[in-house]
Amino acid sequence: MLDMSKSNKKKTKAYSYIRMSSKKQLHGDSLRRQLEATHRYVKANGLVLDDDLRDLGVSAYTSANVTEGALGQFLSLVRESKIPCGSVLVVESLDRISRAKVLDAFDVFREIVRAGIKIHTLENGKTYTNENINDNFSDLLICLGIMARANEESERKSERLGAMWDNKHSLAKKGVPIGGLHPAWVEYSADQGKYILI
């Protein structure tokens, strides 16, 4: 939950947003990498890190991070004008914010920048604002391209997983085991092509 009691009138506030679709990614290097890059950016630009927002194991493809996650809480505070204008939302890449359909993803992005909040992406060192999106058509195209690619990647992954589970269910109906776990009182007989009681 965001702590609005923190204040620093001299420096611009930054909000770090870290999202991973799977908690398994916590075992990798993603969290450390994103945190370190965020702190380097904040320090180099004389910002004060107000809050560290995390959606770990929350999907941006289904927009769960917007409807029920930390990003959704941030957006609520944006709508209530509780996030100071000129603040910076720091993310690794735009695909951390959303992997939904392009227009849905752009709606989230646009709501943030229209409120006067900057979005800085660590991956390419780009800072998006309402002004530079309006004044520089190439920035808009870059945003839309990143959002389209992120959605396509998630759709392909969803289709592959769906096909894999369809195949496993089909095999299971034929009696072929789809995993290594089974009750201790049975075992799978490859010769007979079925489970047998021990």
**Bridge partners (DSSP) listed for residue 48:** 13
Chain centroid to CA 110: 17
Alpha helices in the chain (DSSP H): 30-44, 64-67, 70-79, 94-97, 102-114, 130-135, 137-173
CA distances from 168 to 164, 165, 180 (A): 6, 5, 13
* Residue 95 · residue 150 · CB < 8 Å: yes
Q: How far apart are CA 159 and CA 107, in angstroms?
A: 25
Q: How far apart are CA 143 and CA 108, in angstroms?
A: 12
Report which of 124, 166, 175 is spatially closest to residue 146, judged by C-alpha positions. Answer: 124
* Residue 97 · residue 17 · CB < 8 Å: yes
Q: Alpha-carbon Rg of the chain, whole angstroms?
A: 22
Q: Is 21 a catalytic residue?
A: yes
Using the structure block, give the residue that is written with the tokens 């914010």. Answer: 97
Per annotation, catalytic residue among 5, 16, 21, 76: 21
List active site positions. Answer: 21
